[in-house]
Structure 1
Amino acid sequence: MPSTTHPEFNNHTEALEVAQAFPSAIQGKTAIVTGVNPNGIGFATAEALASQSPTHLILTGRTPSKLTTSISLLRAKYPSVTYHALPMDLSDQSSVRTAANTILTNPSIPEINIVINSAGIMNIPTRTLTPDGIEITFATNHIGHFLFTCLLMPKIIAAAKTNPRGTTRIVNVSSLSPTIAKMRWSDHTFSIKNKDLPEAEQPNYNVLRQWGATDVENASYVPVEAYNQSKVANVLFGIGLTRKLWEKFGILGAALHPGIIQTELARGFGDKELEAVEKMKQAGYIQHRSLGAGAATSLVAALDPGLAEGMVGGEVRDGKENWGAFLLDCQISGLAAHLAVASEEADRLWGVSEGLVGEKFEW
């Protein structure tokens, strides 16, 4: 059964410490990190990877100037790495396809060893649909990553074929949402009032109120619930990847909660959300950690060989499937709700995701 090899790693461990523990998993490899800007955990993730001399480090983001600044900062410390800036708007499928094609047609990048899907948005104040007709939080946090990862699969599989089994990884940065939320299968565009959803799909109203939402039963779109949906999807996507790719190629998917970090993710918060966050801080529910500590669990998920040992597929522990699919504080966590780690839910999400991008993926 999967496990971690450094039980001493915890919520205070820094990403650089994790990278230094697994140098051979990075040296000479090609890694992609999405959502990189100098003030986010994507940058801290990229910095930790750069410290151990990957051959190629591909950084994606919506804002080219932030990518340029990030690469300048990284190159000043780690000049031997070949950096690639890849502008990409994950909410726009045409942008995602263009970015993926840029990598696929680059002959200097024959394979991709590690993908860390770190980009994300949160608390968009009003319900917003993308040009593809998808709620923008779900589109950005899940569907964009789903499409990007699947399009890159030829080069990910190429890495799996030439490297030890289990070392090729796809990591999705989730949150604590999978511990208290489940998928809203009948209404992913948030057009139906919560109280009119099937009872099994109605959100956790107490959690929504805790985040400052009011009249939640009569609301159809609640910003934090849109975020919760996308973060549950991150976990189920990782499970879906493992189910499709582990047996044949030895490719592992995983997801994690990075901890709570002060980043640009909170830029969409309104007064009610900010007030709610302050109350949770005072109650001790929220404790911020550094950017480096926020990136550490991503590095464990991407690098720790123990996560690939004993893999049979769908391991059950404490009545939950897919042990090892969700990490917290640099260790495997059993806190995710049953429906956030269920294989049947992962298969269902895969089908929904293929429908939303208009393409089926078989490898």
Structure 2
Amino acid sequence: MADWMTKDIPDQTGCIAVITGATSGIGYETAKALAGAGARVIVASRNVEKGKQTLAEIRAAHAGAEVSFEPLDLASLTSVANCATRLSASLPRIDLLINNAGVMAIPTRHVTEDGFEMQLGANYIGHFALNLRLLPKVLSGSAPRIVTVSSLAHRSGKINFDDLQCEQRYGYWSAYAQSKLATLMFSLELDRMARAQGWNLRSNAAHPGYAVTGLQSTGPRMGRTGPSWQERFSKLLEPLLSQSAAAGALPTLFAATSPDAKGGAMYGPDGFYELKGSPALAKIVPAAQVKAVWRRLWQVSEYLTGLSLDGVAEASAERKRQP
């Protein structure tokens, strides 16, 4: 994997890719690279105006790129359901689903439209609901992949089932770390379930290391009029420890396209503390590998969203029976 770059992405002609949060940062770089490799890319994000700008920029970079925009607010289960309904009606299949969108380090507790703590709701619960709704379309592909973007922050995360929504105690970093641990566990549990069910689905995860994007300012500025101390501190560290958004997108692109990328694994930069570098297998801390926690989190998530995998296996089996 040494020095793996966008030029190493296999031809993606015929691939249909849906990417959340792709109007900026590593999501944008991922969408641009996949479109350049020939994929049909659907940018699923909140901001319609930024979506239009993103499509124009990708088309300018890659003449003839097949890209479109789909409104999606992961902090609203209604928006998630509406987006999934539209995608399911308009697409013959989804070959690649990339769960990229996220928010980080909101200084005070905010909640989603449905009452979930914002970081858990937007980073994890919204994606969980979107994936369950789109899974039948994903399984319609011949060799589909689902890539979930986690973070180095998963290493300090803990799934607090007694206070999952941080109602009793809120810490901006602990809430973020919990949400990113949850996204990683989702990816690992989905891959385990896919193998148990005999689905031809590869579910893996990626993290960008320390990539300079709007993530470092958007969340920390919620409820503030200026930069937070975290943002100022990050600026001091950037010259030494960070990499560009384009470089930060490489682990996601490797996980999404490389024949060597495995299910049930995470990919990240290969440099010091996985902060920057070329894509490589990333460290998953032991606390993230407890299968009983994966399963309990999945069950809680089904309860919170009102969704389950009932019928997905039957739909997949029916598809395989069709001539």
Confirm or deny a common fold (TM above 0.5): yes
State the match for 2:88 in structure 1. 104
State the match for 1:181 in structure 2. 157
The question of whether the paired residues in 2 share the 8 Å contact of 1:235 and 1:325 is answered with no
- How far does residue 188 in structure 1 lie from its aligned partner after superposition? 1.0
Report Cα offsets for 1:247-268 as digits up to 9, x if no partner. 4112111112212122211223
Q: Which runs of 4+ in 1 moved over 4 A?
A: none
Q: How does 1:202-281 map to 2 (within 5 A)?
A: 220-247=169-196, 248-267=198-217, 268-269=219-220, 271-277=228-234, 281=237
The question of whether the paired residues in 2 share the 8 Å contact of 1:339 and 1:345 is answered with no
- How far does residue 246 in structure 1 lie from its aligned partner after superposition? 2.9
For 1:272 and 1:306, the matched residues in 2 are separated by 40
- 2:77 aligned partner, one-letter code: Q
Secondary structure of the residue aligned to 2:139 is: helix
Secondary structure of the residue aligned to 1:228 is: helix
User: Identity of aligned pairs, percent?
Assistant: 31
For 1:141 and 1:89, the matched residues in 2 are separated by 11
The question of whether the paired residues in 1 share the 8 Å contact of 2:41 and 2:66 is answered with yes
For 2:118 and 2:188, the matched residues in 1 are separated by 23
The question of whether the paired residues in 1 share the 8 Å contact of 2:132 and 2:308 is answered with no
State the match for 1:352 in structure 2. 300
- 2:150 aligned partner, one-letter code: S
State the match for 1:122 in structure 2. 104
State the match for 1:61 in structure 2. 45
Q: How does 1:308-323 map to 2 (within 5 A)?
A: 308=262
The question of whether the paired residues in 2 share the 8 Å contact of 1:181 and 1:232 is answered with yes
- Structure 1: give runs of 5+ residues left out of the alignment: 1-5, 193-219, 312-323
State the match for 2:22 in structure 1. 36
Secondary structure of the residue aligned to 1:172 is: strand
For 1:274 and 1:83, the matched residues in 2 are separated by 33
- 2:145 aligned partner, one-letter code: R
For 2:195 and 2:260, the matched residues in 1 are separated by 15
- How far does residue 225 in structure 1 lie from its aligned partner after superposition? 1.2
User: For residues 361 and 126 of structure 1, do their structure 2 counterparts lie closer, same or farther at Cα, with a shift above 3 Å needed?
Assistant: same
The question of whether the paired residues in 2 share the 8 Å contact of 1:111 and 1:155 is answered with yes
For 2:64 and 2:228, the matched residues in 1 are separated by 45
The question of whether the paired residues in 1 share the 8 Å contact of 2:75 and 2:118 is answered with yes
For 1:80 and 1:53, the matched residues in 2 are separated by 9
State the match for 1:287 in structure 2. 241
The question of whether the paired residues in 2 share the 8 Å contact of 1:180 and 1:337 is answered with no
State the match for 2:30 in structure 1. 45
Count of residues in correspondence between the two structures: 294
For 1:265 and 1:298, the matched residues in 2 are separated by 16
The question of whether the paired residues in 1 share the 8 Å contact of 2:155 and 2:177 is answered with no
Cα RMSD after superposing both structures: 1.9
For 2:80 and 2:213, the matched residues in 1 are separated by 24
Matched, 1:88 2:68: no
Secondary structure of the residue aligned to 1:255 is: strand
1:139 to 97, 100, 121: 121
Taking structure 2 as the reference length, the TM-score comes to 0.86
For 1:179 and 1:305, the matched residues in 2 are separated by 27
For 2:215 and 2:110, the matched residues in 1 are separated by 17
For 1:179 and 1:295, the matched residues in 2 are separated by 20
- How far does residue 278 in structure 1 lie from its aligned partner after superposition? 5.4
The question of whether the paired residues in 2 share the 8 Å contact of 1:51 and 1:78 is answered with yes
- 1:303 aligned partner, one-letter code: T
State the match for 2:285 in structure 1. 337
For 1:181 and 1:134, the matched residues in 2 are separated by 18
- Structure 2: give runs of 5+ residues left out of the alignment: 221-226, 270-278, 314-323
The question of whether the paired residues in 2 share the 8 Å contact of 1:325 and 1:341 is answered with no
For 1:117 and 1:51, the matched residues in 2 are separated by 20
Secondary structure of the residue aligned to 1:72 is: helix
User: For residues 295 and 278 of structure 1, do their structure 2 counterparts lie closer, same or farther at Cα, with a shift above 3 Å needed?
Assistant: closer
- 1:45 aligned partner, one-letter code: T
Q: Which has the higher contact order (CA 8 A, sep 6+)?
A: 1
Report Cα offsets for 1:64-86 as digits up to 9, x if no partner. 01110000111123233322201
**Deviation larger for 224-233 or 341-350:** 341-350
- How far does residue 275 in structure 1 lie from its aligned partner after superposition? 4.7
For 1:40 and 1:305, the matched residues in 2 are separated by 25
